[in-house]
Structures are given as structure tokens and as C-alpha cells.
């Protein structure tokens, strides 16, 4: 599935939902940003989606990312880019996370506050999750290595606070999808467990063989924090004091490269992108590099960056 086809499909979804934003063809992106600069019109926010269709097709172990539920009950299957309006139960301004089986069958999804199973019904005790639906990357779902039943749901606050404006932390909740007749059940002894202090609204993961690193960033600090999920549970944290603190609140996103050796972190309100090295053996983050001048010249604001194929999504 090429970027042009992906653009066409997302444009259709955009029209069906009457979004007030504008979608631009990736081939027209540079021209669009230049025109915004030339006319000194309102600054554009740029959102770059990672839709790794080819990886999902060719590597069965990565088909866990096949399904994407987001927005107002919207859904995409990333293997054939089918759109199912009204299929999902999720409603969210930003936060969304989905997980499928190794065969690509939907397992569970969340908006950071509630958890739904493949039948779009609430998981047992799946309400009251202490995420924030306004966080750009407010949730991520990770299966326990070598298990197809036990999942960790990690949540982050938005701008450092929960849905009620209270300072909040990185948390996790454990879900057993074999329980409750296969509809799933939250482990009440491990629900909304605080892991770390205030963090930015950015979560990403790095798969290292049979283990997974979950990476977050401290709120208004220059600290990266990484936890390793193994068959026996969570290990860490590994803290790395490196790079730039975002004193404007930490909006934006963070993404690891496919091989897990690089991290990219955006600071949307500062219009900057931070590139760093990640050590998959130790969880240490190092060697920061800031990119920002090009974006300022183009008068565009960067929100998310992920790996190709890429779709540019702008609103003004």
C-alpha cells in the first residue's frame, strides 16, 4: 500500500467525519509549508503518522499492530486499509492504543480511560483507567513476552495531569484476556499502578528479542526513563539524564526506529525534534541532537514523526 493510496483513504475518512482540519498529499507538503511561510499565514501543525503496512504483511510477529481504533468510533485495518465507521466503541481526542494477536486478530483497545475487547465490549473492570484522552501518546498495550493472554496497559497523563487536572504519573494495568470467558479481566491488584513521577504525554516501546523496553520522558525535565518487560514482570527504571527539557509542557510524541537503536522525540510547542541513541541492552539513552531551524523557516510545527510510509496531516 503506497503513500498515495494511504492519503486517498485517510482523505475519505476525513470527509466522512467532517474534520475541521486539512489533509495534504505528502507530495504537496513542502510546497504547502513554503506558501504558509511566504504568506505569513497561521502556523501549521504537522502530524506524521507511522503506518507500517509492509511490516505487518511480511512479519507475522509484528501483526499485533494490524488494527487501529481512534477518534470517534473510527477504525482502520492496516493490512488492507479498510475503514469501519461505527465499529469501535472508543471515543477520544487523542489517546488511543490497540493490540492484536500474532495472526492480526483484534484483541483489545483503549482510550486511556476504558478498555474494550474484540467484540467492542468493556473488559471486566475495564473502566476507571487513569490515563488522559487528550494525551498524544497516552497509552500503549504490550503483551507479556511469550504470552498471548496477559497484557500490560501503560498510560501517561496529558501535559502532566490527569482528566481532572491533578498531577499524575506513568502507570500500568495488567489485563488477563483468558479470563471472563475470553472477554478479558483487569487484575484489580495491578490496576493503575504508579511507576514513575510526572511524565510527558509520550510513550513508545522497543522490542529486543523476547523482551520489551517501554520508554517515557520526565515532565519538564531532561530525563528519559525505560522499563524492561520480561516473562517475570517489569524491571527498572533505567534513567538517562540527557537532552533537552521541554518547559512548555511536553506536547508531541516519541518513536523508536525499527531496529530500536534510535529515538525521536518532538517538542511541539518549541517546534523542535530531538534525535538520540538507545541501547537495547542497557536501556540507556544518549547522544542527543536537536533539529529545529528547518521547521521554523518553513513556518510549520512538528507533532509526530514515525517511520515510512508516511502521511502528512496538517491543521491550521
Three-state secondary structure call for residue 67: strand
Integer Cα distance of 91 and 222 in angstroms: 32
- Which structural domain range is residue 27 located in? 3-315
Q: Please compute the mean of the pLDDT values over residues 211-217 and round it to a whole number.
A: 96
CATH number reported for the structural domain that contains residue 291 in this entry: 2.120.10
- Percent helix, strand, coil in the chain, to 5, is 15, 40, 40
Could you report the per-residue pLDDT of 64-93, keeping only the tens digit for each? 878 888 888 888 887 776 666 668 999 998
210 or 220: which carries more pLDDT confidence? 220
Tell me the chain's radius of gyration from C-alpha atoms.
19
Do 222 and 242 contact (CB within 8 A), yes or no?
A: yes
Q: What is the mean pLDDT of the chain?
A: 78
250 Cβ partners below 8 Å, 6+ apart? 159, 160, 199, 200, 201, 202, 217, 219, 220, 267
pLDDT at 44: 32
The C-alpha cell that represents 116 in the structure block: 474494550
Helix segments in 70-153, DSSP class H: none
Cα 167–Cα 168–Cα 173 angle in degrees, nearest 5: 165
pLDDT at 8: 54
CB atoms within 10 A of CB 225: 22
Total domains in the fold of the chain: 1
96 or 65: which carries more pLDDT confidence? 96
Quote the percentage of the chain above a pLDDT of 70: 71
Could you report the per-residue pLDDT of 263-285, keeping only the tens digit for each? 989 888 887 889 999 999 999 99
Q: Where residue 165 falls among pLDDT bands split at 50, 70, 90? A: confident
Q: Where residue 297 falls among pLDDT bands split at 50, 70, 90? A: very low
Amino acid at each position: 500500500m503506497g503513500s498515495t493510496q494511504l492519503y486517498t483513504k485517510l482523505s475519505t475518512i476525513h470527509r466522512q467525519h467532517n474534520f475541521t482540519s486539512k489533509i495534504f498529499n505528502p507530495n504537496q507538503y513542502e510546497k504547502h509549508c513554503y506558501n504558509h511561510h511566504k504568506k505569513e499565514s497561521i502556523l501549521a501543525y504537522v502530524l506524521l503518522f507511522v503506518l507500517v503496512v509492509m511490516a505487518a504483511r511480511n512479519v507475522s510477529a509484528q501483526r499485533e499492530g494490524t488494527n487501529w481504533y481512534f477518534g470517534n468510533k473510527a477504525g482502520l485495518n492496516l493490512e488492507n486499509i479498510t475503514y469501519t465507521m461505527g465499529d469501535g466503541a472508543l471515543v477520544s481526542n487523542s489517546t488511543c492504543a490497540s493490540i492484536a494477536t500474532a495472526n492480526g486478530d483484534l484483541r483489545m483497545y483503549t482510550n486511556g480511560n476504558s478498555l474494550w475487547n474484540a467484540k467492542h465490549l468493556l473488559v471486566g473492570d475495564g473502566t476507571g483507567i487513569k490515563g488522559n484522552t487528550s494525551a498524544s501518546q497516552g497509552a500503549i498495550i504490550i503483551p507479556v513476552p511469550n504470552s498471548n493472554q496477559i497484557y500490560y496497559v501503560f498510560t501517561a497523563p496529558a501535559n502532566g495531569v490527569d482528566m481532572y487536572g491533578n498531577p499524575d504519573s506513568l502507570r500500568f494495568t495488567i489485563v488477563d484476556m483468558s479470563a471472563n470467558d475470553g472477554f478479558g479481566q483487569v487484575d484489580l491488584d495491578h490496576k493503575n499502578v504508579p511507576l514513575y513521577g510526572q511524565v510527558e504525554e509520550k510513550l513508545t516501546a522497543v522490542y529486543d528479542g523476547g523482551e520489551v523496553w517501554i520508554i517515557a520522558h520526565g515532565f519538564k525535565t531532561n530525563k528519559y526513563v525505560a522499563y524492561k518487560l520480561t516473562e517475570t514482570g517489569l524491571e527498572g527504571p533505567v534513567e538517562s539524564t540527557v537532552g533537552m527539557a521541554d518547559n512548555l509542557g511536553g506536547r508531541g510524541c516519541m518513536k523508536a526506529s525499527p531496529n530500536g537503536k534510535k529515538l525521536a522525540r518532538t517538542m511541539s510547542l518549541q517546534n523542535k525534534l530531538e534525535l538520540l541513541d538507545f541501547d537495547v541492552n542497557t536501556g540507556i539513552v544518549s547522544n542527543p541532537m536537536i533539529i529545529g531551524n528547518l521547521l521554523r523557516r518553513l513556518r510549520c510545527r512538528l507533532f509526530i514523526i514515525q517511520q515510512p510510509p508516511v502521511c502528512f496531516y496538517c491543521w491550521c
